Amino acid sequence: MLTACTSIRNHLGELLDTHLVEGADFDDIAAAVVAARDECGQGFSRDELIDQLGVLFLAGHETSASALTWVFYLLAIRPELVQRIRTEVKAVVGDGPIGLEHVKRLSFVRNVFRETVRLYPPITFLPRVALESTRLGDYPVKRGALVIVSPWVMHRHTQYWRDPHRFDPDRFSPEREVGIQAGTYLPFGLGPRVCSGAAFATVEATLVIARLIRDFNFEVVSRGAVRPAARLTTRPAHQIVCRVTRVKE
């Protein structure tokens, strides 16, 4: 593990050094972190920059990869949804490149991602520490107590969701989304500590889904039942193997 961490930090350091040379002109996340200043006008040191980029790399990579694993598994077993995605991409983009400017209009693609992270939230449990004594319903909570919030449980609760175990992207359509109770959908958390990368992850996933589903078919070839496991992220207990073929022109 130590060797892997050292390797990651070294690679991030190499990337960072290209941004720290005088006259460097980049328009990316690393450049934004380098340019960040605190209230005293102080920027990050090189080691601190590597720390910040490491958090972005690991948090953004691991959670996005887990979510997209579930996306392509679910679409592989629901071919009618694949066709809806291709129809929407064709209507919005045509045959040209799919770019950032198309994301807002790819509403069904975006809803496929939103529904996926409802069923399989990237972070299964959110730990929090009570800053003061309080009550949660009928339960007293002492100051300093560890409180576990579970998006997995909340997203599948029959009190808040109709047919909660069904994969239904249309529950996020404009006419149905208004019926979702506030505070019951939290794949990225809620409140002041909500995931800062939530919007980025949604845009990233929408582009990846649209680009890959337009050009490729996914067929599950794994044997046995697919079961989720709560590890660092919500991931399959065993790898899901898919056969990927290019869509015929």
CB 121 within 8 A of CB 151: yes
Provide the β-strand partners of residue 136. Answer: 139
Six-digit token string for 224: 């046995």
Residue ranges of domains in the chain? 64-124+152-246
> What is the model's pLDDT at position 1?
58
Q: Give the pLDDT confidence score for residue 231 in this predicted structure.
A: 79
With cut-offs at 50, 70 and 90, classify the pLDDT of residue 196: confident
d(CA 141, CA 129) in angstroms, rounded, equals 10
Can you tell me the distance from the alpha carbon of 116 to that of 97, in angstroms, rounded to the nearest whole number? 25
pLDDT at 145: 96
The pLDDT value recorded for residue 178 is 93
Query: Average pLDDT for residues 225-233, to the nearest whole number?
Result: 86
Q: Report the pLDDT averaged over residues 128-149.
A: 93
Q: Which residues of 42-57 are buried (b: 16+ CB within 10 A; e: fewer)?
A: eebeeeebbebbeebb
pLDDT in tens, 145-161: 999 999 999 999 999 99
Who has greater pLDDT, 62 or 205?
205
Residue with tokens 């697919």: 226
pLDDT over threshold 90, residue 174: yes
- Above 90 in pLDDT, residue 192? no
Paired tokens of 147: 């409180």
Please calculate the CA angle 220-223-227 and round it to the nearest 5 degrees. 85
pLDDT of residue 207: 96
pLDDT of residue 161: 96
Name the H helices within 77-182. 79-93, 107-119, 151-155, 174-177
Burial of 217 (0-12, 13-18, 19+ CB in 10 A): middle
- Class of the domain covering 64-124+152-246: mainly alpha
Confidence at residue 62, expressed as pLDDT on a 0 to 100 scale: 80
- Residues 105-118, mean pLDDT to the nearest whole number: 98
**Does 224 or 175 have the greater pLDDT score?**
175
Q: How much is the pLDDT for 214?
A: 97
Taking only the tens place, the pLDDT of each residue in 205-217 is 999 999 999 999 9
